[in-house]
Amino acid sequence: MRHAVVRHIRTIATLLLAAALMLSVATARAGPPDWLPKPARGKGEKCVADTGWMRRNHMTALMHQRDATVHEGIHTGRFSLERCIECHAVNGADGKPVTIANPKHFCRTCHDYAAVQIDCFDCHASRPGPKAATTNNAAPERFAKTDAAVLAQYLRSLER
Amino acid sequence: MSCRSNSGAGCGRSGECECATATSDAVDNARRTFLRGAAAMTVTTLAAGVTLYGFGAEPAAARATGEKASSKVRWGLLIDASKCSDGCTACVSACQSENGWHDTGHPTTDAQWIRKLTVKDPNTGATFSLPMMCQHCAKPPCVDVCPTGASFRRADGIVLVDKHICIGCRYCMMACPYKARSFIHEPVDDQKPYAPRGRGTVESCTLCVHRVDEGRTPACVEACNDTGGGAMLFGDLNDSSSEIAKRVAAYRTTRIRDDLGTDPGVRYVNI
């Protein structure tokens, strides 16, 4: 008798657990929750690197790019801020690309959420403007699979 | 500065060249005498209206994408003050619209990348006009004093401020004998994508580095050629076949405050 009750309780618990799991799977399928930032899609087909890599490493890539560009005059364009801005421009109500002052700005969507201040736009233009001919418009290359390999590959490309 | 072996007129039959940096006083004096003669010749030729025409844009060679600025190149300007008319500000407005600096209603502190000066001889009353901007020195005092390394000279001779590491201390402004640098006091918005500028940093003429890297000439030179007097010539001082190097080799040119030994890349004639 006692064993039967324990068995029943076990069955009920298993069923409840299964139901909870199924529910969570269903919620995940419905998409990310509302409170997560939803940055606008870029204009191009794909980004210069995988989205996950860019989320983790865009700041490092931009930092190296800036030194190469300012000090050595290298305009390869792959991690050019100008190019990011061009592709990820978000149009405002007036149909023109918004500046960093607007919370809809591509960079602000995530940076506001993460509470990370960006100083780039104290000096840099935050929306597309007249384009310099040196901007490389070739289709973005794909990266190797692992982040470490990718960063190594990128850093090697700077050592010329 | 080293001697260019193929600098035509300066090289004697023995293979010796006239050097800009003479090693002894004797050589220096000989050079001065030679240059004085050359100057007189220039004036004569100018009076006959033969030379110094065709000043203006000279296509610069664009580097391949991804290639570093080379130290084989020394970008420079040659400005003929006799063709620079008092009151013409074509170069200044071109620089403003190209690089996005303008009056903000604070004339004493507004940024000024290039300005027109009128110089008067107090004895005779004779005046002439010239544009003044960063002289892109080979030995720039602004670079010497910069505590962070933000003020630097690029391999091809262009003196720039890396605003990422500029802390706005303004030592460079104090050190510059040409008063070429400005500090940005007000927040800036709507910058040009190729010419970032922002509050709290120092800035100056970049010799339109974004245009030079594309193989174009600076905006001031283009404007002076189009709507001004055609007084400005841009080119590679190290390339003996370039128009600017030929003119610098042929005529007496002046570097402002040459006595300071900064070796500016901007040279003037008829001042």
Residues of B in contact with A105 (CB under 8 A): none
Residues of A in contact with B208 (CB under 8 A): none
Residues of A in contact with B67 (CB under 8 A): 74
Say whether pLDDT at B24 is over 70: no
Are the beta carbons of B198 and A123 separated by less than 8 Å? yes
Give per-residue burial for A117-147: e unless 16+ CB within 10 Å, then b: ebebbbbbbbbbbeebebbeeeebeebeeee
Closest-CA residue of A relative to B198 is A123
Average pLDDT for residues B236-240, to the nearest whole number?
Answer: 94
Average pLDDT for residues B119-142, to the nearest whole number?
Answer: 95
Selecting from B163, B193, B201 the residue whose C-beta is nearest the C-beta of A82 gives B193
Report pLDDT for B251.
Answer: 92
Residues of A in contact with B162 (CB under 8 A): 70-71
Q: What letter would DSSP give residue A98?
A: P
Say whether pLDDT at B22 is over 80: no
Q: Which amino acid is at A10?
A: R
Backbone angles phi, psi at B160, to 5 degrees: -135, 170
Within 8 A by CB and 6+ apart from A124, the residues are A81, A85, B191, B193, B196, B198
Report yes or no: A123 and B188 within 8 Å, Cβ to Cβ: yes
Dist CA A75 CA A69 (whole Å): 6
CA-based nearest residue to B177, from B155, B159, B156: B159
- Where helices occur in B49-168 by DSSP H, the ranges are 90-99, 141-145
Does residue B64 sit at the A interface (CB-CB below 8 Å)? no
Say whether pLDDT at A14 is over 80: no
Question: Over the stretch B4-15, which tens digit does the pLDDT of each residue have?
Answer: 444 333 344 444
Q: Dihedral (C-alpha) B207, B132, B182, A124: value to the nearest 10 degrees?
A: -30
Selecting from A76, A122, A124 the residue whose C-beta is nearest the C-beta of B65 gives A76
Q: What is the CA radius of gyration of chain A?
A: 23
A10 vs B264 pLDDT, higher one:
B264
Average pLDDT, chain B: 82
Report pLDDT for B61.
Answer: 58
Within 13 Å, how many C-alpha atoms sit on residue B143's CB side? 16
Dist CA B227 CA B235 (whole Å): 20
Domain ranges of chain A: 1-31, 51-158
CB pairs under 8 A between A and B: 75
Residues of A in contact with B197 (CB under 8 A): 123
Dist CA B267 CA A101 (whole Å): 43
Q: Read off the tokens for A90.
A: 């978000």
Dist CA A126 CA A124 (whole Å): 6
Report pLDDT for A20.
Answer: 64
Within 8 A by CB and 6+ apart from B263, the residues are B1, B137, B138, B139, B255
B74 vs B17 pLDDT, higher one:
B74
Report pLDDT for A4.
Answer: 66
Report pLDDT for B168.
Answer: 96
Report pLDDT for A18.
Answer: 66
The ipTM estimated for the assembled molecules is 0.71
Report pLDDT for B243.
Answer: 94
Q: Read off the tokens for B265.
A: 């890349």
B113 vs A159 pLDDT, higher one:
B113
A38 vs B75 pLDDT, higher one:
B75
Say whether pLDDT at B18 is over 70: no
Q: Which of A42-51, A146-155, B241-250, B251-260 has the lowest mean pLDDT?
A: A146-155
Average pLDDT for residues B232-240, to the nearest whole number?
Answer: 95
Does residue A96 sit at the B interface (CB-CB below 8 Å)? no
Interface test with B, best of A120, A123, A124, A157 (most B CBs within 10 A): A123
Residues 76-105 of B with CB under 8 A from A: none
Report pLDDT for A77.
Answer: 66
Report yes or no: B267 and B248 within 8 Å, Cβ to Cβ: yes
Report pLDDT for A45.
Answer: 81
Say whether pLDDT at A115 is over 90: yes
Say whether pLDDT at A19 is over 80: no
Report pLDDT for B31.
Answer: 52
Are the beta carbons of A74 and B197 separated by less than 8 Å? no
Report yes or no: B265 and B157 within 8 Å, Cβ to Cβ: yes
Does residue A128 sit at the B interface (CB-CB below 8 Å)? yes
Does residue B162 sit at the A interface (CB-CB below 8 Å)? yes
Dist CA B150 CA B142 (whole Å): 10
Say whether pLDDT at B26 is over 90: no
Dist CA A58 CA A64 (whole Å): 10
Average pLDDT for residues A112-138, to the nearest whole number?
Answer: 78
CA-based nearest residue to B232, from B242, B224, B243, B240: B224
Average pLDDT, chain A: 78
Residues of B in contact with A65 (CB under 8 A): none
Report pLDDT for A46.
Answer: 84
Report pLDDT for B145.
Answer: 97
Q: Which of B54-63, B137-146, B190-199, B222-231 has the lowest mean pLDDT?
A: B54-63
Average pLDDT for residues A11-17, to the nearest whole number?
Answer: 68
A64 vs B187 pLDDT, higher one:
B187
Dist CA A74 CA B210 (whole Å): 11
Are the beta carbons of A160 and B210 separated by less than 8 Å? no
Residues of B in contact with A82 (CB under 8 A): 193-194
Question: Over the stretch B28-74, which tens digit does the pLDDT of each residue have?
Answer: 555 554 444 444 433 333 333 333 333 444 445 567 767 889 899 99
Question: Over the stretch B147-204, which tens digit does the pLDDT of each residue have?
Answer: 999 999 999 999 999 999 999 999 999 999 999 999 999 999 889 999 999 999 999 9
Domain B75-269 carries which CATH code? 3.30.70.20
Residues of A in contact with B193 (CB under 8 A): 82, 85, 124-125, 128-132
Does residue A133 sit at the B interface (CB-CB below 8 Å)? yes
Average pLDDT for residues A70-89, to the nearest whole number?
Answer: 86
pTM for the whole thing?
Answer: 0.72
Domain ranges of chain B: 8-47, 75-269
Say whether pLDDT at A105 is over 60: yes
Are the beta carbons of A74 and B188 separated by less than 8 Å? no
Q: Which of A80-94, B34-48, B211-225, B241-255 has the lowest mean pLDDT?
A: B34-48
